Amino acid sequence: KRVAILISGGGSNMLRLVEDMTGDHPARPVLVASNDPSAAGLARAERLGIPTASVDHRDFPRDRAGFEAALLKPLLDAQPDIICLAGFMRILTPEFVTRFAGRMLNIHPSLLPSYPGLNTHARAIAAGDREAGVTVHEVTPELDAGPILGQARVPILPDDTPEVLASRVLVHEHLLYPAVLRRFAAGDRSPVML
Ligand code: GRF
């Protein structure tokens, strides 16, 4: 299976996915693309010999469709079987998502369906939750709402700040996403619960 990974920043999740796609893993990375040409993850991917691309969404103000049309070019050239959104911070239109229905994954730092959207850790702390976590799900037109492919639960400690909690959750993201992609690429959509 050919995997394209979309990032917006450091790409720590992308890195873990790439590092896991070796040996008997049924998938291989074929492209790392970003909406930000300065995303540090692009340099990390290049160092690993993975083709990269970037389309600056700021070149398409109030033109989401134009941005996506530009992003589609390198994406389709890579002929991916699976697309992994990994720290990708742009909302994709239903038209774009529908093109890859059933084969686009995203990682979201909360226990969906709780806390779709942004600032998930601050919201969980403010709500007095004792648990946070991370979800990998299939991407559907509705934001952060597709079928769940994996979850990991993470304790919230009494004096947690959102930053401290985010770093604790990130460790579990790095374990969950590769485990889900291995299973998904082998054709198994049963959820990975860590
Ligand atoms: C992290 O906060 C993670 O929770 C979310 O995207 C952010 C950056 O991830 N998935 P990465 O280091 O770019 O993979």
Note the pLDDT tens digit of each residue in 64-96: 999 999 999 999 999 999 999 999 999 999 999
pTM equals 0.97
* pLDDT bucket at 20, cuts 50 / 70 / 90: very high
| pLDDT value at residue 87 | 98
Binding site residue list: 11-13, 64, 89-92, 106
Binding site residue list for (6R)-10-formyltetrahydrofolate: 64, 89-92, 106
The answer to whether 34 and 115 are in contact (CB under 8 A) is no
* Rounded mean pLDDT, 24-39: 98
| pLDDT value at residue 23 | 97
Substitution candidate for ligand 1 out of 12, 88, 163, 177 with most atoms within 8 A of CB: 12
| pLDDT value at residue 187 | 97
Average pLDDT, the chain: 98
The answer to whether 17 and 44 are in contact (CB under 8 A) is no
Residue nearest to atom 8 of ligand 1 (CA): 87
Write the pLDDT tens digit of every residue in 127-162. 999 999 999 999 999 999 999 999 999 999 999 999
- ipTM score of complex: 0.92
| pLDDT value at residue 172 | 98
Q: How far apart are CA 157 and CA 179, in angstroms?
A: 26
